[in-house]
Amino acid sequence: MINVIPVSSKKELADFIDFPHDLYKGDSNYVPELFIAQRDLLTKHPFHKHNTVQPFLAYRDGKIIGRIAAILNNTHNEFNQRNDGFFGFFDSIDDSEVAKVLFDTVDKWLKEKGVTQKVIGPVNFSTNEPCGLLVQGFDSPPVLMQTYNPPYYVNLVEKQGYTKQVDLIAWHWHDQAYNDRSLRLLDALLNRLKRSNIVIRKVNMKDFKNEAIKLREVYNAAWDKNTGFVPLNDEEFDYLAKDLKLILDPEFCIIAEHEGKLVGFGIALPDYNQLFKTIKRGRLLPTGIFKLLFGKKKITRIRVYALGVIESYRKLGIEACLYALIIKQYIKKGYTSAEAGWTLENNVLMNSAIEAIDGDPYKKYRLYEKDI
C-alpha cells in the first residue's frame, strides 16, 4: 500500500530533500543539491510570500519511494491571465503506480485551491528556477542549475496523461569547437555600436546592488514573451542576485548600455556542479565547505546562464558582442567546455545565433501539461 503525506515537519522536509540521494545512488551523472540551498528554497524564498507550495512524500512499508510538490503560482496566473497549477520536485522509483498516486495527490490539492485549467511541470518553482524533465542527453551530468533525471521518468509522466508543452534546449561546445567569426569581428562590432552610443562593459561589482536593479528590468523586459515566463519581483530578483553574486566572475557578466540605459546583458557562470558532485548528500559540513573554497580552480566548464537584449535593440550586433566577449574570457581562463541554455525550441532568433557559433543541441528538457 502506498501512503502519501504532506510535508509539515523539519524531519519530513529533510527527508524530502534527501530522497534523491538514495534514489540516485550509483548513478555517475547525479549531482546532489546543496541541502542548505534546497531547504532555503522550500522555506525562505520570497516566492512563498505570494504563492503556495506543498511538498508530499510517498511511502511503502515505511520506506520513502517518491516525492512531489504541488505549486500554486499566483504570479503566473495573473501575468498570463490563466488559472493553472504546477508540479515540481518530482522523483520516484520506477513504478507507474507510485507516480499515479503522487500526481493524483497534486491534482486533488490544486483543485482544492481552485485551479481549473492546466497542470504544468516540472518546475521548481517556475521557469525562473530549474525546470523541465530531461528527455535527451542522459549520458553526462547536468551543469549548474539544470535538472537531471533517469530516462524512465518520461514514461512515468506521460502515463499520467501529460503531453509536451514546449522543449528547452541546452547547447554544448567542447574545447574551441566553436565558430569564432564573432570574435574576429568583435572590434568592428564594438566600434559600430559605439557610434550609436551603445557601450559594452563588465558589471560593476562595487555597485552590484544598483546593477542588479537594472538587470532585473532588462530580464523582465527581454524574456516577457517567452512561453511560461513569469516576471520576478524585486525581492525574488534580489534573492537570485544574492546567490549569483557568491559565484559570479565579473569577467563573465557583460552589460550593454545605450546612453546609460541598460539594454542587454550576458552572464556565464563557472559550473560549480563539478564541485557539488563531490559533496556527499549535499552537506557542506564537515568537509564539503572546503571542497567549495579550494576547488574552484578545478572547474573546467562554464554555463552561459542568461543572455538577452530588449526587443527594440535586437539585430544590432549586441548579442554577437556578448557571446564574443564571453568566448574571449573562456579562452583566457583556460576552460575546456561550455553549455548555453536553456533556450526555448521556438526562440528562432536566439537558436539561430547559437547555431551560427556551432552550438551542439546536446540536451533537451521538456515542460509538460495536462488538463486538470
Residue 97, phi-psi category: left (phi > 0), alpha (psi -120 to 50), beta (remainder) = alpha
H/E run at residue 255: strand 253-258
Burial of 257 (0-12, 13-18, 19+ CB in 10 A): middle
Per 3-state DSSP, the chain is made up of helix, strand and coil in percentages (nearest 5) of: 40, 30, 30
The three cell numbers of residue 184 are 574576429
- The pLDDT assigned to 229 comes to 85
Residue 339, phi-psi category: left (phi > 0), alpha (psi -120 to 50), beta (remainder) = beta
- The pLDDT assigned to 194 comes to 95
Q: How far apart are CA 352 and CA 128, in angstroms?
A: 23
Say how many C-beta atoms besides its own lie within 10 A of residue 191's C-beta: 9
All structural domains of the chain: 2-167 (3.40.630.30), 174-364 (3.40.630.30)
- The pLDDT assigned to 291 comes to 83
Omega into 141 within 30° of 0, i.e. cis? Answer: no
State phi, psi for 52 to the nearest 5 degrees.
Answer: -130, 135
- The pLDDT assigned to 23 comes to 98
Q: Could you tell me the mean pLDDT of each successive run of 10 residues in the chain, 372 residues long?
A: 97 98 97 96 96 98 98 95 97 98 98 98 94 98 97 98 98 90 92 96 92 92 83 92 91 96 96 95 84 87 95 93 95 96 92 92 98 95
Q: Which residue has the cell 576547488?
A: 295
Q: How far apart are CA 4 and CA 105, in angstroms?
A: 8
- The pLDDT assigned to 289 comes to 80
Helices vs strands, H then E, count in the chain: 13, 13
Q: How far apart are CA 169 and CA 26, in angstroms?
A: 27
Total-model pTM:
0.94
- The pLDDT assigned to 226 comes to 81
